[in-house]
Amino acid sequence: MERVTVEKKILNENDRIAASLRDRFHEQGTLVVNCISSPGSGKTLLLERTLERLPQSMRAAVLTGDIQTDNDARRLARYGFPVQQITTAGACHLDARMIEKALANWPSPELDLLIIENVGNLVCPTSYDLGEECKIVILSVTEGEDKPLKYPGAFHRSRLMVLNKIDLLPYVPFDVAQARANAAAINPAIEIIETSALSGAGIDAWMHWLLARVRARA
Ligand SMILES: Nc1nc2c(ncn2[C@@H]2O[C@H](COP(=O)(O)OP(=O)(O)OP(=O)(O)O)[C@@H](O)[C@H]2O)c(=O)[nH]1
Ligand SMILES: [Mg+2]
């Protein structure tokens, strides 16, 4: 009983900070997306493909969360946009305070687009509002089409599901229609884009989706 109370308090504190971040992002016209997936679904590779296609004039930045290492920040830093690694030292998710702290160190905080790559985990990040405009869940075809049903929170709270690694469809038993139906059963409004961050298939559709939302914010 006591444990439940403490967790509730932490979440309330998180929600308070997230609300103030959201106000700030609204004022500054910054689109913030919070990318969630299990480890290795291809978040960082998808973001690499994204950064290499963003207009250099766009004020974009990435915060990437991991339990350990700055591997992802080093991969993402090659595209000319500011990137910060947040290492959570054991925590399985980012929280709003971590975002607030990272932004306090930012040389140029006024952004058109802030992409957050959450810690690879399909459960914990779902409960933490980071002040984002929307969550995006990435599911790869190697994970099984039942994942929306088994981990409904991430799919219920996301505006978009990116179905990644479609280049592997000839080699793995994965039923795309069933995966789409499972995601829609959890969240009838969810949008779905199929991609291969490796081959580049579907990346145009993803960029179109993202840039339309950046423009809507400007
Ligand atoms: N075949 C194939 N491999 C991919 C694709 N996207 C990513 N990968 C590979 O999958 C592995 C994991 O990709 P990452 O981008 O590191 O995945 P991640 O979700 O960022 O992983 P974490 O940050 O550790 O949770 C790497 O070996 C990528 O090259 C894809 O579309 N197709
Ligand atoms: Mg990554």
Q: Give the domain ranges of the chain.
A: 2-217
pTM as predicted: 0.95
| Residue 138, strand partner residues | 162
CB 113 within 8 A of CB 150: no
For the domain made up of 2-217, give the CATH fold: Rossmann fold (3.40.50)
pLDDT at 210: 98
- Taking CA atoms, 210 is separated from 20, 125, 152, 167, in Å, by 23, 21, 23, 22
Take residue 122 and report the two structure tokens written for it: 């399909």
| Most informative mutation of 38, 45, 46, 165 for ligand 1 (most atoms within 8 A of CB) | 45
pLDDT tens per residue across span 29-51? 999 999 999 999 999 999 999 99
Looking at the predicted structure, is the pLDDT value of residue 7 above 90? no
pLDDT tens per residue across span 43-86? 999 999 999 999 989 999 999 999 999 999 999 999 999 999 99
pLDDT tens per residue across span 85-116? 999 999 999 999 999 999 998 866 689 999 99
CB 91 within 8 A of CB 81: no
Strand blocks (E) in the chain: 31-36, 60-66, 83-87, 113-117, 134-140, 158-164, 191-194
Atom of ligand 1 nearest to the CA of 195: 31
